[in-house]
Amino acid sequence: MGQGRSEAPNIREDEALAQLQRNDLDVRRRRAVISVLGQVGSERSINALRDNLYQNDLKTKVEAVLALARIASDEAVDALSEFLRKHTGPPFALAVNSLRIANAHRVMPTLIEILQERRSELSDGDKRVIIHALAHVPHRSQVPALSAALNERSLLTKRVAAMALSGIRAPESRTALQDAAQSLSWLGGLYARRELRRCQNDDDE
């Protein structure tokens, strides 16, 4: 792997794309070439990188996620968004975090959709990664998904959902916190009550 990476920075985009088309390309070299496309790739590289998101090799998936996030064009962001609709696991969390940095506003509707529609499939950790990403671009459209997250069993997930709701600063987000504080158990509604107090303190200042 070290040899592949040492050679990779000298590859131009067109040469890297040609190498990815080779049937005899070994997996370590594939990872190295994809990594280079994250440095020198343009819109021309997006289709090839999208294809490599679905390779069986986990590290290849990771390199493709990172490369698309570095390109960060609308088409690259859309390729990662489509990947998120189908997959979970380590590349999922990496893709969410990468998109949060690359273009959080563009990916926000996808993250809301995934949090609502794939709720039963996602791990608690994946849910929290999505909620953290949404919190970077607070918007009232997130309220239904975040409100549902307040009903998760994980207290940590409840906590980040309550914090994200309080950051939206809209009447409907405060109503969601109030409803949770009143309807959940004392422990379950703890973070909703805490964020309501924080909102009240901010209003008083």
CATH of the domain at 176: 1.25.10
Residue identified by tokens 């294809």 is 51
Decide if 174 is inside a domain.
yes
Quote the pTM value.
0.88
Q: Is residue 143 part of a domain?
A: yes
Give the chain's radius of gyration (CA, Å): 20
Mean pLDDT of the region 58-84:
95
With respect to residue 130, please indicate whether it lies within any of the assigned structural domains: no
Question: Domain range spanning residue 168?
Answer: 138-205
Residue 123 forms part of a structural domain: no
Provide the pLDDT confidence category of residue 6 given band limits of 50, 70 and 90. very low
Q: What is the pLDDT of residues 19-45, one digit of tens each?
A: 999 989 999 999 999 999 999 999 999
Residue 171 maps to a domain: yes
Structure tokens at 62: 């990771």
Which single residue is written with the structure tokens 């950051």?
167
Tell me the average pLDDT across 82-110. Answer: 92
Q: Is the pLDDT of residue 9 over 90?
A: no
Residues 112-156 have pLDDT tens digits of 999 999 999 999 999 999 999 999 999 999 999 999 999 999 999
Taking the mean position of all CA atoms in its chain, how far away is CA 49? 17
pLDDT of residue 143: 98
Q: Does 183 fall in a domain?
A: yes
Domain tally for the chain?
1
- The answer to whether position 125 is within a domain reads no
Could you tell me the end-to-end alpha-carbon distance of the chain, in angstroms, rounded to an integer? 57
Distance in angstroms (rounded) separating the CA atoms of residues 20 and 2: 18
Please tell me the predicted confidence (pLDDT) of residue 204.
63
Asked, for residue 202, whether it belongs to a domain, the answer is yes
